[in-house]
Each structure stands twice: as structure tokens, then as C-alpha cells.
Structure 1
Amino acid sequence: MKPIFYINRVLMGLSAFWSFFLAVIITVDVVGRGLFNSPLTGSLEIIVNSIVVIAFLQLGYAVGSGSMLRADFILHLLPRRLTLFLDVTGLVIGAIIFGLLCYAVIDPTISAYRSGDYEGEGAMRVPTWPIYATIFFGSLLTTINYILLAFDRYASERPDHV
């Protein structure tokens, strides 16, 4: 197993655990509001920021396992070479998009870390740099997965491999 796939699985497991943790927070918040008229302090900030983190932790696994959404309903009607070209092109475009996202989030991550930027007011203040860092590393991992899949897809259809 390639190390990247191991990393994908570990991050997917972490995001599943985190999702369960969010379910507990939401339940405690709802019960607290309903029974005691006292919501869980900071639950909104935790939930809002966690959704972004969970999504970016899962992206690498979704791409690497072939679970990312694809519109391939017409590909079986096309010649094999054109299908290969479109598959590889789509994977390269995915790598470019997430590579650009990775690049775009570098400055906000560094700025949020240096300035101590946070989200939320009052009792719960959540630092934003870990969220930006998760977007960076999730995008980087997704980019790597797209590149590896593009090479694998191209190599699997070369004449000497058919």
C-alpha cells in the first residue's frame, strides 16, 4: 500500500471520529436548550469550524479511493483513447484546482497564525490558523492523490500494459 493511501485512511478515520464528536456536541446542545434553557457554550463556533476541517480531512480519501463525484455517464459511448484523454484531463484539472487552493491559502494561514486571528466572541474564541492549515494540507493531499491517479490511469492504458 502506498503511504499516501495510508495517510488518506488515517485522516478519514479521524474525520469520522470528529463527526461522532460533533454529534455528541449537537445532542448536548439541543438537550441543554430544551431541558435547561442553557445551550452548550461555544457549540456554534465548534460546529461551524469543524465542518470545514472534516470536509478537507476527507477529500484525499474521496479522491484516492475513486469516490469523488464524477459525471462519467457518457464515457462508455466514446472511443477508449478519448475516454483515457478525458479521464486524465479531468484528474489533471482536479490537481490544478486543489493545487491553486493550496497555494491561495498559504498567506491567510501564515497571517492568521502571526496575528492570532480567531473566530467567535465572548466565551468561545476559536483560532483560525488550524482551519486554514487543514485546508492547506487537505488540498495538498488531494492534489497529490489527483496526480497519482492521473499517472496510474495513463500508465494502465499504455499499449505495453494492455
Structure 2
Amino acid sequence: MRFFQRLLEPLISAMGLVGLICVTLMMLHVTTDVLLRFVFNLPIGGTITIVSNYYMVILGFGSLAVAESRGAHVSVEVLTELMPRNVQTGLASMAALLGAVVFGFLTVRTWIEAMAKMELGAAMQQGTMTIPVWPSYFALPLGCGLMVLTSLWRAGALATGAPSTFGPDMSDLENYGDPKDE
């Protein structure tokens, strides 16, 4: 498990960095567009298309594995918290395996779609500009594929009793930053 984690951790860190860059670029792009639009009446062409088809798609799908690696996905534990710890761990491991299967199917399907969009040279018209959007379709299989690997790692870690998160563990947010801990 440790070997697999050492291979996976840099990939997930890189995706986290890409997400950080996307958020920063999106913020700068939109802010600059708003300032130029309302102060100088010179909007940046294609802002809506670029923000919605590049920044947001990359950020949304790239962050899946980052959240999974930190145990930060939303989970509802109404019944499972009443079960013994080993049953909870087994269910969490099975859920991670099921997630890997589902995201595996998504990876294949989104890869097929990305290839089709690339062959078509998919683009969007915004005003007088034509903006190619086919490259953004590859963010989906990349993000889903990394999620598959992360889910498999997490399932294996849970099954073997190894630590199932790396980076800050976000699974216990109710006690995160609790003043009595200080």
C-alpha cells in the first residue's frame, strides 16, 4: 500500500496544484474582465466560455481525487455509526471499490467523448470569437481516472488497516479547529 501511495501522492498533489492555478486564473480573469468592461468598456472576449469550459471543468473533475485522498467527500453515517468499527471499515472499503467501478465506467465513457470532440474540433462561438473547447473534455477522463486509482488505494488501505488518507484528514470536521483542542 505504501508503494502505491508514493506513486499516487505526487499525481494528486499535481492535480491539487492545477486546481489552485485554475482558481487563481479564474479569479484574475473574471476580475480583469469586470474591471475592463465597466471602467473602460473593453470586455475580454470569450470570458464566459473559457471560465465555464476550462477553469470550472478542470477544477471540478481534478479535485475529485484530492478530496478522496483526504477523506473530504460528503458522507452520511446515520446507521453505520451505530455498527461495530470493523463493519464500518468493511462498508467503507466496499464503497470505495464501488466508487472505483463507477468512476472506471465514467473514465472510459468520457475518454470516448473527448476523442470524439477532438476529432470534430469542437468549438464554441462567443461574439465574434470561436474558442476551441475540445481540449477541456480531456479533464473528465483524467480526473475520473485519478479518482479510480485513489478509490482503489483507499479501498486497499481500509481493508488492510493502513492509514486511508494522506494530506490533512478532513473526515472529522466537527472537531476541526475546536477551541478545547488547543
**What is the TM-score when the length of structure 2 is the normalising length?**
0.79
Number of the residue aligned with 1:160: none
Tell me the equivalent position of 1:7: 11
Which structure's residues are more often helix, by fraction? 1
Shift of 1:74: 4.1
The range that moved more, 115-124 or 29-38, is 115-124
Identity %: 22
Alignment partner, residue 42 of structure 2: 38
The answer on whether the counterparts of 2:90 and 2:158 sit within 8 Å (CA) in structure 1 is: no
Tell me what 1:115 maps to. 120
Partner in structure 1 of residue 22 of structure 2: 18
Structure 2 portions without partners, runs of 5+: 163-182
Give the total of aligned pairs: 157
1:62 aligns with 2:67: yes
Residue equivalent to 2:175: none
Q: Distance in 2 between matches of 1:42 and 1:30?
A: 13
Question: How far apart are 1:59 and its partner, in Å?
Answer: 1.4
Asked if 1:146 is matched to 2:151, the reply is yes
Greater shift in the superposed pair: 103-112 or 67-76: 67-76
Partner residue in 1 for 2:178 = none
> Cα RMSD over matched residues?
1.7
Post-superposition, which runs of at least 4 consecutive aligned residues in structure 1 deviate over 4 A? Answer: none
Is 2:105 aligned against 1:100?
A: yes
Please report how far the alpha carbon of residue 125 of structure 1 lies from its aligned counterpart in structure 2 after TM superposition: 2.9
Counterpart-to-counterpart distance in 2, 1:140 and 1:13: 17
- 3-state secondary structure, aligned to 2:154: helix
Q: Supply the distance in 2 between the matched residues of 1:37 and 1:151 (Cα, whole angstroms).
A: 56
The AA in structure 2 aligned to 1:143 is: V
